[in-house]
Copies of this chain bind each other. A is one copy, B any other.
Amino acid sequence: MHSVKIKIQIQQGSHIAFGPGKAELLKAISSEGSISGAAKSMNMSYKRAWDLVMVMNASFKEPLVTTVIGGSHGGGAMLTQFGHDVLQEYVEIQSKSERYVLSEMDNFLSTLAPVSNVK
């Protein structure tokens, strides 16, 4: 079986404002409730996750992630409504674009060999 995947990266000057890795990180923060938990679930250092969040928050007009101070677990992080909206829109554009690319690739995919050709 063949399948087509696309990765969409939004560059802003010299850095990447948003892309597949940052989208995954937002999903993980949303489900884990903290940056440290999200980092752990993605096998990423806390520092790297924190840096990615800082870049995201500075790249958009509003913050995507907000930190929660204190509480029984010593604080955590969650997506803002704006963060949820950005993530959802990215995911939708991603799906729609993947369908478009697939529709453009009929001829290209027909030049591929059956899977069994590759050892």
| Residues of chain A having any CB pair with chain B under 8 Å | 1-13, 15, 17, 55, 58-62, 82, 86, 89-90, 93, 96-97, 100-101, 104-105, 107-109, 111-113, 115, 117-119
Contacts and interface: CB of A to CB of B under 8 A. Distances in A.
- A interface, over-half SS: mixed
A101 B109 contact: no
Nearest to A113: B61
B108 A104 contact: no
B58 A112 contact: no
Contact of A9 (B6, B111, B118): B6
B4 A113 contact: no
Nearest to A109: B10
